[in-house]
A and B are shown apart, each in its own frame.
Chain A
């Protein structure tokens, strides 16, 4: 903990980190100050007036907590009748023109207005006059749907487009209770992070076209995960649910705060990449294009690997370090070559200076850490000499440029170990269906050398095996946790000094120098 100050809250002395405002400082010690407009990434605006707190002997005696830095000896009052009355009154005013259409509102169950109503208001409406009517289900572009009547004018979304994306598509027009968030005529939201306004909106004013009406918030299980959409490794919540009679299914990704990696936000492409976890999966294990039992597939695959003179083991840059280690072990045992060639995952020029990276894979840095070759030259050489390709989830042909390999591949026996259906699984003699990153746990290193761990989020009704399990079945010698952990520590010595339970939640920065913190 950095420097601290001692101050009083409701007469009790507490010690909090200096340099923070009252909301953030008190949150750490478990004291909630209600607020709508303040967000740590967007700063204090002071417009909602929900965070007004009393300062004993203060001038003024009433201040917005979001704009008030902690100070030695400050006597903050939160539980006085005066403050409770203000919170109650502000809530009443927030709600008088709110449609209270919770039964049909996507935000219900995770709505600040709902939560605060129960905590701070809890009275019948005294509104006996007509409400202000504003725009409904307005398509703001980028999959964002806006409801002006539900809006509390906290301006988080407006500030997001001004301060974070710097695209400024949103603004508040009109005055008084006619004020409303809108876009400029003919200029809708147009940035690759727009859906963050849905996360930021404390109420149901901003909803996602992709998610709305699909699932009630209270049915969703929220698991932590890491986005595999690119080499940034943004932290996410994987919101999933097993509906009665159905299978566990992901309904959305949301940004999960990690100051070391992505701050408070994720990109829209990453957010929507959960669709790929639900769809396009290989699903079943196949032998010569026909579904088969795993035993049948293993028997054929083992024989082919044992008989191969020069097998080539191709690894996906999305594999975890654990998976890579296991595959490498198998290859060594079978005297085969290993390649991590995956240029097809790189979209030159697609990245930006915020979160999106050119490299659309999650663990390319893992190849380097484990000494796995990724060059085109080595891959081409190995491929030309190979009589068997064992492909571990590498979508070699995902981009046009990789078409040069089709001729060679057509003459080659292919064993595919894959989470998703693709060109290579379709031509494979044996294709093993394995789990994808929302269903297993592991370790990955992002482009900035931040090593992160994640755990399985989704458990399917009929789980397909982890890739490591298939490697074991194929005769891989390095497949148990202890051996893999040892191998990982050998490759990344700094890990040896860290107890598994003491692993930093934000991830481990492998760079020796100071980290480039994302302060967003």
Chain B
């Protein structure tokens, strides 16, 4: 099942060191890339069908082609390494185990889009990861892979690591830009989109770590080799972080399109302790939950997840067994998004706090059926009325819990005994 493209060097000892990484092929694609016209590099990525791995799944090559032509402004690449979505732990592996893969991808992308200044925005809590990344960048500078002449070619590239201060919302691409510019991390209104006016008002491409790290393979082996994996519309591989109530939680690189339950069974050892499956969160906390019946027909690709009225998301799969109290889980979820709401625009700022208090009231046994209806209505009232999608990232899953596990909410409202605790 497993395919080792991104994770090829993950199990090699000291592969984060340039010397070891080079022995295993790091930076080998650069000569080939620099011999190509930049537009051909973009085309190759377009042809590979690589989609953004931050969660939205927007085609990467297409995104690059949105950069305005003939603008007398610098172009920036910003690598989103804010990985803050609960249940998501894929990029950290790249940052610590194969940072040179990321740097190689950055060089390829920057060459394609004509960028000479790249910023990597790394979440504040990633201390070890930042050190590993900075160490690799320093090594790359010393070895001439970054700086005035990248790998001896007539191309200048500087890479700067910018640490976040611990805000989930800074993973939103425009809040991320605000944060780099030194302001409070609050999303900007769009349009203008970053490709037109991004970092410091200049054309900016923002890609996820895993997206960028996929580039060396595509350029080395060609778009067709990448498309050999995955499905037609969701080609390639993805790093899946499987957590929750499974026997073998962990990070697995798999081609897209595999059956969800099969992956949970074969890779993660199935639901733990012989318990029954209650639900699966398919791609990080913000994706609507799947019931066992839905999960049985779902495959791990963008199209199947959309057909199941959820999202592929970030590949962070959470398996929930029969003991999970969905109301408690909903409280945890809203608590997180309420805490992380930047507080800029009204629906998210006021609404998530209200929702949290309603669920807490329900958990205390003080709620009513009307509260459940209100909670459900608030999901609709808040969603998509905001500057960014943070509130939707909360209301979409909450709505799925309310709709699919309504009886559990009703149980709290009608004073029935709580479901048995784990």
- Is the CB of A79 closer than 8 A to any CB of chain B? no
Q: Is A129's CB under 8 angstroms from B350's CB?
A: no
Task: Give chain B residues whose Cβ lies under 8 Å from the Cβ of A178.
Answer: 343
Task: Give chain B residues whose Cβ lies under 8 Å from the Cβ of A177.
Answer: 338, 341, 343, 349-350, 352-353
Q: Is B350's CB under 8 angstroms from A52's CB?
A: no
- A89-B381, A172-B343 given as contacts; is B387 within 8 A of A47 (CB)? yes
0/1 per residue, B337-376, Cβ < 8 Å to A? 0111111111111111110011011000000000100100
Q: Is B381's CB under 8 angstroms from A93's CB?
A: yes
- The minimal Cβ–Cβ distance linking B277 to chain A, given in whole angstroms, is 33
Q: Is A129's CB under 8 angstroms from B386's CB?
A: no
Q: Is A67's CB under 8 angstroms from B189's CB?
A: yes
Interchain CB contact (< 8 A) of A153 among B343, B351, B352, B387: B343
0/1 per residue, A124-155, Cβ < 8 Å to B? 00111110100000000000000000001100
- Is the CB of B385 closer than 8 A to any CB of chain A? yes
- Is the CB of B384 closer than 8 A to any CB of chain A? yes
| Chain A residue at minimum C-beta to C-beta distance from B344 | A47
Q: Is B385's CB under 8 angstroms from A130's CB?
A: no
**Complex Cα gap A70–B55 (Å):** 34
Q: Is A128's CB under 8 angstroms from B381's CB?
A: no
Q: Is A46's CB under 8 angstroms from B353's CB?
A: no
User: For residues 135 through 184 of chain A, which have their beta carbon under 8 Å from a beta carbon of chain B?
Assistant: 152-153, 172, 174-179
**Complex Cα gap A94–B343 (Å):** 12
- Is the CB of A217 closer than 8 A to any CB of chain B? no
Q: Is B349's CB under 8 angstroms from A96's CB?
A: no
| Chain B residue at minimum C-beta to C-beta distance from A130 | B357
Q: Is A176's CB under 8 angstroms from B346's CB?
A: no
- Is the CB of A90 closer than 8 A to any CB of chain B? yes
Task: Give chain A residues whose Cβ lies under 8 Å from the Cβ of B339.
Answer: 175-176
Q: Is A129's CB under 8 angstroms from B343's CB?
A: no
- The minimal Cβ–Cβ distance linking A99 to chain B, given in whole angstroms, is 14
Task: Give chain A residues whose Cβ lies under 8 Å from the Cβ of B352.
Answer: 176-177
User: For residues 184 through 217 of chain B, which have their beta carbon under 8 Å from a beta carbon of chain A?
Assistant: 184, 189
- Is the CB of A234 closer than 8 A to any CB of chain B? no
Interchain CB contact (< 8 A) of B347 among A44, A49, A126, A129: A49
Q: Is B345's CB under 8 angstroms from A49's CB?
A: yes
- The minimal Cβ–Cβ distance linking A62 to chain B, given in whole angstroms, is 7
User: For residues 32 through 86 of chain A, which have their beta carbon under 8 Å from a beta carbon of chain B?
Assistant: 44, 46-50, 52, 62, 64, 67, 85-86
Task: Give chain B residues whose Cβ lies under 8 Å from the Cβ of A92.
Answer: 381
- Is the CB of A436 closer than 8 A to any CB of chain B? no
Q: Is B189's CB under 8 angstroms from A176's CB?
A: no
- Is the CB of A391 closer than 8 A to any CB of chain B? no
- A46-B345, A129-B358 given as contacts; is B338 within 8 A of A176 (CB)? yes
Task: Give chain B residues whose Cβ lies under 8 Å from the Cβ of A172.
Answer: 184, 343
- A96-B354, A129-B358, A175-B339 given as contacts; is B346 within 8 A of A47 (CB)? yes
| Chain A residue at minimum C-beta to C-beta distance from B386 | A49
Q: What residues of chain A have their CB less than 8 Å away from a CB belonging to chain B?
A: 44, 46-50, 52, 62, 64, 67, 85-86, 89-90, 92-94, 96-97, 126-130, 132, 152-153, 172, 174-179
8 contacting pairs across A/B (C-beta < 8 A): A96-B350, A126-B374, A128-B358, A129-B354, A153-B349, A175-B339, A177-B341, A177-B353
Q: What residues of chain B have their CB less than 8 Å away from a CB belonging to chain A?
A: 167, 184, 189, 338-354, 357-358, 360-361, 371, 374, 381-382, 384-387
Beyond known contacts A62-B385, A93-B350, A153-B349: 5 more, CB 8 A cutoff:
A49-B385, A153-B343, A172-B184, A175-B339, A179-B343
